[in-house]
Structure 1
């Protein structure tokens, strides 16, 4: 748990309160990649996308035959878990806007049911206690 706490704190330091920015690749995919790398997992599929625009990321998913971010995360080899079983540092997929092409938004479990996620309305990374989930993976 100490390692998980350190990995989660690193994600908080890098993302919490900071604006989302496609140009510097500060988006939910990079957040998930950081969580994976901090826990010693390969984030090759997430890091392979060098796109700096929303359209570029969608093209990456299509080019690699992923219908959604859920399919991409499943391809990483991480074990799928029930969202209620998430520990700090695990990745949780939250519902995103219908028809956005992603199928979900990736978040990192923080503590006590809270997650760090990219808040589209505020345009920055925030913590929240979600009530709807798409999927989750043990990191």
Structure 2
């Protein structure tokens, strides 16, 4: 194993340690905080979240809109990471897939657990965080970003 792969697998383990089994709670245990934790563990600053506080879905949607983004994929693009095919994703990279139809964010973020995004760490439909298999069947609904580490 290379030092980069060891570090990235440690990032995935750190995300699991912090979030696995936790119930979704806006502002402290949600997909944005999960992705930010992975970035932090890769020594990547997350300036978009500096000073941003929210405790509800409505508060999170207002914060996203106030920052000038239509959805979470736009916010991830603003981070400056290269978009990649999900099949190219490494542990610690970020994947966005369609969220529920009536939700204000359009996408939900997850952290890659296994190479190729075969499994990701995410908050599932049951509201709890865990490792699961993302739906990668429709490439128009799934985006991935290579999180460049510092």
Interval containing the TM-score (normalised by the shorter chain) = over 0.9
Residues 16 and 130, structure 2, Cα contact 8 Å, conserved in 1 = no
* Inter-CA distance 92–45: structure 2 relative to 1 (3 Å threshold): same
Residues 111 and 122, structure 2, Cα contact 8 Å, conserved in 1 = yes
Gaps of 5+ in 1: none
Match of 1:7 among 1, 8, 11: 11
Please give the alpha-carbon distance, in whole angstroms, between the structure 2 residues aligned to 1:48 and 1:80: 26
Alignment of 1:84 with 2:87, yes or no, is yes
Residues 30 and 47, structure 1, Cα contact 8 Å, conserved in 2 = no
Please give the alpha-carbon distance, in whole angstroms, between the structure 2 residues aligned to 1:48 and 1:97: 27
Alignment of 1:136 with 2:136, yes or no, is no
Shift of 1:34: 0.4
Number of aligned residue pairs: give it: 137
Q: Which runs of 4+ in 1 moved over 3 A?
A: none
Please give the alpha-carbon distance, in whole angstroms, between the structure 2 residues aligned to 1:101 and 1:2: 36
Please give the alpha-carbon distance, in whole angstroms, between the structure 2 residues aligned to 1:47 and 1:7: 21
Shift of 1:137: 0.5
* Inter-CA distance 47–105: structure 2 relative to 1 (3 Å threshold): farther
TM-score (norm 2): 0.86
Residues 115 and 127, structure 1, Cα contact 8 Å, conserved in 2 = yes
TM-score (norm 1): 0.92
Partner residue of 1:116?
Answer: 121
Please give the alpha-carbon distance, in whole angstroms, between the structure 2 residues aligned to 1:37 and 1:53: 23
Q: SS at the partner of 1:105?
A: strand
- CA RMSD for the aligned pairs? 1.4
Please give the alpha-carbon distance, in whole angstroms, between the structure 1 residues aligned to 2:92 and 2:54: 25
Shift of 1:29: 0.2
Residues 92 and 135, structure 1, Cα contact 8 Å, conserved in 2 = yes
